């Protein structure tokens, strides 16, 4: 078994001797004295079939010729022949190398991290906590003290419990978040509600505090709308957080500009690609295109994780980075085209505003179109401000 493995690794030739089996064996055993032979009868019942390491071919040819034996050598077989046939298939060769590495070292490193039990924290936050303690895909498993990692994470996080279990090349992190009961509701800090802009009051929805606003009243920016100070009958004061919504009719103005010169992206059809393999956290480029990438190009990266049998994720990613070259073509818009573009931008911005009136003014500047829009809308102008400057 071992010599067959040896022959496969170093490469071998299949030799067919035309002489009788006994004569062939006599030469093979005695006068040639060549090891690593497997002497078998040929399929025709005459002669012998044997195998020899590839590096002994020249020696055997000379000896067969000297002894007057007729021998036919097959083409080179085994692992070297496979590498030669697939010498241009870099991916296949790397796959073989990675397969050997995975087989030998699979149990020494962390392949996968599974997180369960988290509801408020995201997987990314838990992974960050683990990474800070040296637990990540590609970490040496034997260097990880699971109990110590869990204790350190509990000390610096709000988790109620975390269990870190290493099962082969997989880490299982079981998280129990702190179960917060209904916290005592603290009284919010006293505050007032003031106007964040000028307007005419339409309606008030009061939640807490004191307000004497009435519909049709004009208010200015910063003016008190809802007070957090409530005067008591005994002459004292009660301070609270003022809450509420104050809807008012406001006057607004927006000015935007659009250059008449526009640059449009046009792809040239040139695509440059770089392929790489990420093994654990180590990246190795497999192929790459020209290093002289154009200055104007889009970089598109696609990453795919390799799955074993389509189910088991391996710590290997195939990464392809594509560079799509493009040029910027300069075009000159007409005034009407620029105006339509500006109007689309304005309507997108005002799509959620309940408009009462709308007026626009278009002017042509130096190489640009200016759109000035004046509109009235109903909006909530309430803004909460602290009643006291607390430390």
In the 3-class helix/strand/coil scheme, how is 241-291 assigned residue by residue? ECEEEEEEEEEEEEEEEEECEEEEEEEEEEEEEEEEEEECCEEEEEEECCC
40 or 299, higher pLDDT:
299
Is residue 4 over pLDDT 50? yes
Per-residue DSSP letter, 136:
S
Q: How far apart are CA 18 and CA 216, in angstroms?
A: 117
Contact present, 288 and 320 (Cβ < 8 Å): no
pTM exceeds 0.75? no
Average pLDDT over residues 51-56: 80
Strand 191-195 to strand 224-226: parallel, antiparallel, or no bridges (unpaired)?
antiparallel
Half-sphere CA count of 318, side-chain side, radius 13 A: 11
Count of other CB atoms within 10 angstroms of residue 357: 10
Strand 12-17 to strand 71-73: parallel, antiparallel, or no bridges (unpaired)?
antiparallel
List the domains of the chain with CATH numbers: 2-78 (3.30.70), 107-177 (3.10.20.310), 191-249 (no CATH), 256-261+332-378 (no CATH), 263-331 (no CATH)
Whole-number mean pLDDT of the chain? 80
pLDDT of residue 182: 43
* Residue 142 backbone phi and psi in degrees, to 5: -70, -15
Q: pLDDT (tens digit, 9 = 90+) per residue, 268-295?
A: 888 888 888 887 667 788 775 555 667 7
Q: Which helix (H) or strand (E) holds 196?
A: none
Q: pLDDT (tens digit, 9 = 90+) per residue, 308-365?
A: 666 667 777 888 988 899 999 998 999 999 999 999 999 888 888 889 999 999 999 8
Distance of CA 299 to the CA centre of its chain: 15
Q: How far apart are CA 38 and CA 51, in angstroms?
A: 6
Count of other CB atoms within 10 angstroms of residue 240: 18
Q: Which of 86-95, 228-237, 354-363 has the lowest mean pLDDT?
A: 86-95
Q: Order of strands, edge to edge, in the sheet holding 224-226?
A: 224-226, 191-195, 382-386
Contact present, 172 and 146 (Cβ < 8 Å): no
pLDDT of residue 11: 82
Contact present, 382 and 192 (Cβ < 8 Å): no
Residue 209 tokens, joined: 């505090």
Q: How far apart are CA 362 and CA 50, in angstroms?
A: 94
What end-to-end distance do the CA atoms of the chain give, in Å?
Answer: 82
Residue 100 tokens, joined: 């050997």
* Residue 60 backbone phi and psi in degrees, to 5: -65, -40
Q: How far apart are CA 225 and CA 383, in angstroms?
A: 9
CB contact set of 299 (below 8 Å; sequence gap of 6+):
321, 322, 323
Is residue 140 over pLDDT 60? yes
Burial 200-223 (b: 16+ CB within 10 A, else e): ebbebebeebebebeeeeebeeee
Is residue 116 over pLDDT 60? yes
Q: Which of 102, 138, 115 is nearest to 308 (CA)?
A: 102
Provide the β-strand partners of residue 224: 194
Give the relative orientation of helices 146-156 and 123-132 as an angle to the nearest 10 degrees: 110
Residue 322 tokens, joined: 């594509």
Is residue 248 over pLDDT 90? yes
């Amino acid at each position: 078994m071992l010599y067959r493995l040896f022959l496969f690794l170093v490469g071998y030739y299949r030799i067919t001797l035309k002489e009788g089996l006994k004569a062939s064996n006599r030469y093979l055993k005695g006068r040639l004295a060549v090891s690593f032979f497997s002497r078998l009868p040929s399929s025709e019942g005459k002669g012998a079939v044997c195998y020899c390491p590839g590096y002994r071919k020249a020696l055997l040819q000379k000896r067969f010729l000297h002894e007057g034996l007729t021998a036919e050598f097959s083409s080179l077989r085994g692992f070297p022949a496979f590498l030669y046939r697939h010498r241009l298939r870099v991916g296949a060769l790397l796959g073989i190398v990675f397969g050997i590495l995975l087989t030998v070292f699979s149990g020494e490193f962390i392949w996968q991290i599974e997180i369960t039990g988290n509801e408020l924290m995201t997987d990314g936050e838990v992974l960050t906590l683990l990474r800070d303690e040296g637990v990540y895909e590609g970490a040496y498993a034997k260097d990880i003290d699971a109990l110590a990692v869990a204790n350190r994470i509990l000390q610096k996080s709000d988790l109620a419990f975390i269990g870190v279990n290493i099962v082969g090349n997989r880490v299982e992190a079981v998280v129990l978040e702190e179960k917060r009961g209904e916290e005592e509701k603290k009284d919010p800090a006293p505050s007032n509600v003031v106007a964040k802009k000028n307007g005419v009051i339409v309606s008030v929805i009061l939640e807490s505090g004191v307000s004497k606003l009435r519909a049709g009243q004009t208010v200015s920016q910063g003016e008190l709308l809802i007070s957090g100070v409530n005067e008591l009958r005994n002459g004292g004061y009660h301070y609270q957080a003022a809450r509420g919504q104050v809807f008012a009719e406001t006057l607004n103005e927006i000015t935007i500009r659009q250059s008449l010169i526009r640059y449009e992206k046009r792809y040239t059809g040139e695509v440059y690609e770089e392929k790489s393999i990420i093994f654990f956290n180590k990246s190795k480029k497999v192929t790459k295109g020209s290093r002289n990438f154009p200055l104007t190009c889009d970089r598109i990266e696609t990453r795919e994780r390799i799955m074993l049998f389509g189910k088991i994720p391996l710590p290997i990613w195939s990464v392809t980075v594509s560079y799509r070259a493009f040029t910027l073509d300069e075009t000159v818009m007409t005034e009407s085209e620029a105006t339509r573009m500006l109007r689309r931008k304005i309507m997108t911005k005002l799509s959620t505003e309940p408009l009462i009136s709308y007026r626009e003014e278009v002017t042509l500047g130096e190489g640009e179109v200016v759109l000035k829009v004046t509109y009235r809308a109903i909006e909530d102008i309430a803004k909460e401000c602290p009643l006291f400057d607390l430390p």
